[in-house]
Amino acid sequence: MTDFFKCSDCARIIKVIQEGRGQLICCGKPMQPLANFESVDNILEFAIEKEAEAHDFYVEWAGKLEPEHLKQLFLAFAAEEQKHKEKLERVKKGSTFQPAAAKVTDLKIVDYMVDIVPTPDMDYQEALIIAMRREKASFKLYSDLAAISGNGDIQTLFLALAQEEAKHKLRMETEYEKDIYREN
């Protein structure tokens, strides 16, 4: 099954891997079907939308954060998401994509942390946790899209984008380890 659902309130996306009874609920409301991918263009459009949403999230929070270094960090994350969107748009128009060959190390730091809700007064540690969680979710999304794409070139593209997201997560986990773990 390749059904994706999205919460209209928090924008959480889930992939149904096994059908069950009942309705999917998030934020107290039924989740809406997002996509049943029928073509490569559908998959690319979905991925472009996700990159735009990630860009907008980072820009929005950069504007809400007080510390200047966090604003700059989130603007840098936004710029990376914009680059991904542009890559996908070029592929949709027929360009090829050259993926990086090396698999990225996963420190798994964020795997053992509780969820944090973004707040305007969040500190550096909280901002990194949120960013790491977002990048981990993007990695999983691109891995899932690669699995359902059914096309060698598109599958390679999504696997490469998954690795890009893994690089972002590694960069943030390295910062977390350097700045937060060493302080504690």
pLDDT digits (tens, 9 = 90+) for 111-156: 777 777 878 777 878 888 888 888 888 888 888 878 877 777 778 8
**List of residues 6+ apart from 22 with CB closer than 8 A:** none
* 6: pLDDT strictly greater than 80: no
Q: Where are the domains of the chain?
A: 1-36, 38-181
Which helix (H) or strand (E) segment holds residue 32: the answer is strand 32-35
Mapped onto helix, strand or coil, the DSSP state of residue 160 is helix
- Is pTM beyond 0.95 here? no
For the segment 31-77, what is each residue's pLDDT rounded down to a tens digit? Answer: 877 655 667 787 788 889 888 988 998 898 888 877 788 789 889 98
Any alpha helices (H) in 16-123, and if so which ranges? 40-64, 68-92
Q: What is d(CA 158, CA 142) in angstroms, rounded to the nearest whole number? A: 5
Determine the topology of domain 1-36 in CATH.
Answer: Rubrerythrin, domain 2 (2.20.28)
Q: What is d(CA 31, CA 8) in angstroms, rounded to the nearest whole number? A: 7
Mapped onto helix, strand or coil, the DSSP state of residue 27 is coil
Whole-number pLDDT of residue 52: 93
Instruction: Specify the CATH architecture of the domain 38-181.
Output: Up-down Bundle (1.20)
Q: Which one of 32-46, 74-88, 163-177 scores highest in mean pLDDT?
A: 74-88
Q: Which two tokens stand for residue 90?
A: 């070029």
Q: What is d(CA 77, CA 144) in angstroms, rounded to the nearest whole number? A: 22
Mean pLDDT of 72-101: 84
Q: What is d(CA 127, CA 123) in angstroms, rounded to the nearest whole number? A: 6
Q: Which two tokens stand for residue 45?
A: 């459009």
Q: Which two tokens stand for residue 28?
A: 């107290």
